[in-house]
């Protein structure tokens, strides 16, 4: 049985649908807004002032778990360049690369370069992903940390400074700029995950073997 409810909500105009992940009294809204930036917003129902709050994703919701696993591993491995898509383009005759070897060489060089960048070291410490909201004032930006303990992903949202002029006290928003982010180009990985979430079928849920095994493990505890 899935613990996370996934909803797709119509956004303004032609913007992609908002994704809402609900787990008990907590909601994680993932939304692409008119600023052309991505937002993750954590809230609770009924409303309460938030300073530090977590949101967990386990194999009980394997399709969602897989998307966060891909996100985490792409950040960890500095896999901004989408090599799978580029290989598919090459096989279709649409790539600007002359050979598969050129694609792999470019990928390896890109990864090596990104792992030496300041953005990578600010974002990933070898275990935890920390994204401070892409706002103007760094000392008051809300943030999200993504941890993996071997079994589940734990998203830790923190409000660094209570300033109701900047944001509501009832939610913790984190902005991922697509232009001018201090973590550029790693914002691309978060956008790729959002695009994958758009493909999620909210009307049909087939139990994956990993979900079954996870639930059996929980029942035995």
pLDDT tens digits for 31-87?
A: 999 999 999 999 998 888 888 999 999 999 999 999 999 999 999 999 999 999 999
Between 137 and 177, the higher pLDDT residue:
177
The torsion defined by the Cα of 74, 64, 6 and 42, in degrees rounded to 10, comes to: -50
Q: Does residue 22 surpass a pLDDT of 80? A: yes
Q: Does residue 140 surpass a pLDDT of 70? A: no
Q: Does residue 210 surpass a pLDDT of 80? A: no
Between 21 and 1, the higher pLDDT residue:
21
- Residue 172 binned pLDDT confidence (cut-offs 50, 70, 90): very high
CA dist., res. 55 & res. 32, Å (int) = 20
Average pLDDT of the segment spanning 22-28: 94
Q: Does residue 217 surpass a pLDDT of 80? A: no
CA dist., res. 206 & res. 84, Å (int) = 25
Residue ranges per domain, the chain? 5-62+129-220
Pairing label, strands 52-57, 38-44: unpaired
Q: What is the pLDDT of residue 131?
A: 97
Q: What is the pLDDT of residue 160?
A: 77
The total number of residues shown for the chain amounts to: 221
């Amino acid at each position: 049985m899935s613990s996370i409810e996934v909803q797709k909500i119509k956004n303004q105009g032609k913007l992609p649908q908002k994704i809402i992940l609900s787990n008990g009294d907590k909601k994680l809204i993932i939304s692409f807004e008119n600023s052309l930036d991505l937002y993750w917003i954590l809230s609770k129902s009924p409303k309460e002032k938030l300073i530090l709050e977590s949101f967990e994703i386990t194999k009980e919701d394997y399709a969602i778990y897989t998307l966060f696993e891909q996100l985490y591993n792409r950040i960890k491995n500095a896999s901004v360049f989408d090599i799978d898509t580029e290989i598919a383009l090459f096989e279709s005759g649409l790539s600007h690369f002359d050979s598969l070897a050129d694609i792999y060489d470019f990928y390896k060089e890109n990864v090596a370069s990104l792992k030496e960048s300041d953005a990578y070291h600010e974002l990933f410490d070898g275990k935890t992903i920390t994204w401070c909201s892409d706002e103007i004032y760094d000392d008051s930006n809300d943030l999200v940390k993504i941890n993996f303990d071997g079994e589940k992903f734990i998203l830790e949202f923190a409000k660094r400074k209570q300033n109701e002029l900047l944001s509501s006290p009832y939610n913790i928003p984190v902005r991922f700029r697509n232009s001018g982010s201090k973590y550029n180009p790693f914002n691309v990985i978060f956008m790729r995950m959002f695009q994958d979430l758009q493909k999620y079928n909210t009307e049909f849920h087939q139990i994956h073997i990993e979900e079954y095994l996870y639930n059996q493990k929980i029942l035995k505890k």
